[in-house]
């Protein structure tokens, strides 16, 4: 998972909120696919960044940021994404929620 | 932090995305304030739920869900929230980003 703290442009932009619980039986295979799929998604037009956390017990939360809805839709139609989604449902995730949202305001604090 | 997997209503609703890095010097005090403030926010009109994860190194990510922008604005004007924000900036957070977004689509998967 990417380091924490993505620098995003002035809103509006899109946040895709993905909360999941992994099946720990297939973790090694999941990591390999994730690495591949992250390399491809990072290369998509309109991809702004991603941040997330994962706990040892398999729970995780990832947020990816995108320039606009077209960029999200285009990624969702990408063959690699479709295959990864299928594998995710069959083997890797016990459950997940995917939420697509438009960021309208952002504030940043640094001490 | 709340258990993972908040059940939200049909979109649209609001997601407040909070990514942070804690100053580990003041963790005990932070935990105490967090407990208090979470009890108050959970009691606000329009609060739908919260989920998040935190790592040992102080990085964390919390998403709270709200019925609409009015509910978010009302919570941000709440005295308890204003005091907590001040304490957060002075003592608890090294840095944070706060993003307010409108969720327009949601899908849920359970194996």
**Domain contains A61:** yes
Task: Give B40→chain A minimum CA distance, Å.
Answer: 23
Chain A residues whose CB is inside 8 A of the B107 CB are 97-98
Mean model confidence pLDDT for chain A: 94
Cβ–Cβ contact B85 with A under 8 A:
no
pTM of the model: 0.94
**Domain contains A39:** yes
> Whole-angstrom Cα distance, residue B104 to residue A82?
21
Cβ–Cβ contact A86 with B under 8 A:
no
CATH number of the domain to which B59 belongs = 3.30.70.100
SS3 label, residue B10: coil
**Domain contains A84:** yes
- Chain A residue with the nearest C-alpha to that of B53: A53
pLDDT of residue A3: 43
What is the extent of the structural domain holding A28?
20-103
pLDDT in 10s for each residue of chain B, 111 residues: 444 679 999 999 999 999 999 999 999 999 999 999 999 999 999 999 999 999 889 999 999 999 999 999 999 999 999 999 999 999 999 999 999 999 999 999 998
Helix axes B69-77, B79-87, angle to 10 degrees: 70
**Domain contains B85:** yes
Task: Give B15→chain A minimum CA distance, Å.
Answer: 8
**Domain contains A109:** no
Report the number of distinct structural domains present in chain B. 1
**Domain contains B89:** yes
Question: What ipTM is given for this predicted complex?
Answer: 0.92
Give per-residue pLDDT as tens, A22-71.
999 999 999 999 999 999 999 999 999 999 999 889 999 999 999 999 99
Give per-residue pLDDT as tens, A68-103.
999 999 999 999 999 999 999 999 999 999 999 999
> Whole-angstrom Cα distance, residue A34 to residue A8?
22
Banded pLDDT at A15 (limits 50, 70, 90): very high
**Domain contains A94:** yes
**Domain contains A44:** yes
């Amino acid at each position: 998972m990417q380091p924490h703290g993505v620098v995003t442009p002035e809103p509006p932009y899109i946040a895709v909120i993905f909360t999941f619980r992994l099946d720990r039986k297939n973790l090694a295979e999941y990591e390999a696919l994730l690495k591949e799929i992250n390399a491809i998604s990072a290369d998509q037009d309109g991809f702004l960044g991603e941040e997330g956390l994962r706990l040892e017990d398999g729970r995780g939360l990832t947020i990816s940021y995108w320039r606009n809805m077209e960029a999200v839709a285009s990624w969702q139609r990408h063959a690699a994404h479709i295959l990864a989604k299928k594998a995710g449902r069959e083997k890797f995730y016990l459950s997940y929620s995917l939420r697509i949202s438009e960021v309208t305001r952002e504030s940043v604090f640094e001490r």
